[in-house]
Amino acid sequence: MKQYLDLVENVLTNGVKKDNRTGTPTISCFAENYKVDLADGFPLLTTKKVYFRSVILELLWYLRGEDHIRWLRDEKDCHIWDAWADKDGYVGPIYPTLWRRFPNLKSSDGFSYPGKGSKESTEWMYDEFDQVQRAIDMLKTNPNSRRIVVSAWHPGVLDEMRLPPCHVMYIFNVSDGKLNCHLTQRSGDIALGIPFNLACYSALTSTIAQETNLKPGTFAHTIVDAHIYENHIDGLKEQLNREPRPLPQLDIADKPIDKLQFEDFSLKNYNPHDPIKFPVAV
């Protein structure tokens, strides 16, 4: 996919060397972005094989609202999150929890935040808020809203997370009957993470478009710290030497989002180049 290869080439050419928490240096660029038109096909890279099963299982796991990986690891034999889980499989309140069970501050007497109304003090309590369902409801009832936002960043619980979210916010936007999605990512591993993020959020956009009677539109992606680990450079250079092939097509069963299973996603005409193995920096 040209947009991805352009991102790789730009960071290889213009990136600056930076140290980081993993101990493996990177070359990094600030605030990189690209767009893909989902009408052109499902953006699963063809310059290397990306494992579709893992992409979709990760998306379905995000939608489960759990703080552990036992469904992903033990039931589905998918190990992409093992490196960040503790011995019991816990990862803390990251994407699944914050997407579907965001801690929501509410008052016991109807006030929504301190200072609102006439009372000087208010008793506060917490419940859970389903951001994904709210986004779906808004797309059905008020599709022109500019407030259809799902956030995965909660500063108050960062210390409870095994890995603070890298993709921190996505925003839906409807234009001419098409559902667009913009993903903001604080940190992006270009070799390993970005191909997954691109495919995962494109699948999410297509899924929600179907549920809300819209057509998939544009997926846009901004990466604040777009980086390449030094031990990934050779593999990415190999991808730059490969000719992109036509994108595959993705078919999704017509079901509510919470009823979907892996078998409801069908990938057609995927003909990638050989896999390239990249070490994971933990």
Catalytic residue positions, numbered: 166
Q: What is the phi/psi pair of residue 176, to 5°?
A: 55, 45
CB 171 within 8 A of CB 182: yes
Q: What is the phi/psi pair of residue 206, to 5°?
A: -65, -40
How would you label 257-280 residue by residue, b for 16+ Cβ within 10 Å and e otherwise? Answer: beebeeeebebeebebbeebebee
Query: Cα–Cα distance between 47 and 273 in angstroms, integer?
Result: 5
Residue 63 token pair: 């939608």
CB 144 within 8 A of CB 180: no
Query: Cα–Cα distance between 60 and 57 in angstroms, integer?
Result: 5
Q: How many CB atoms lie under 10 A from the CB of residue 60? A: 23
Query: Cα–Cα distance between 203 and 11 in angstroms, integer?
Result: 26
How would you label 89-118 residue by residue, b for 16+ Cβ within 10 Å and e otherwise? Answer: bbbbbbbbbbbbbbeeeebeeebeeeeeee
Query: Cα–Cα distance between 91 and 273 in angstroms, integer?
Result: 33
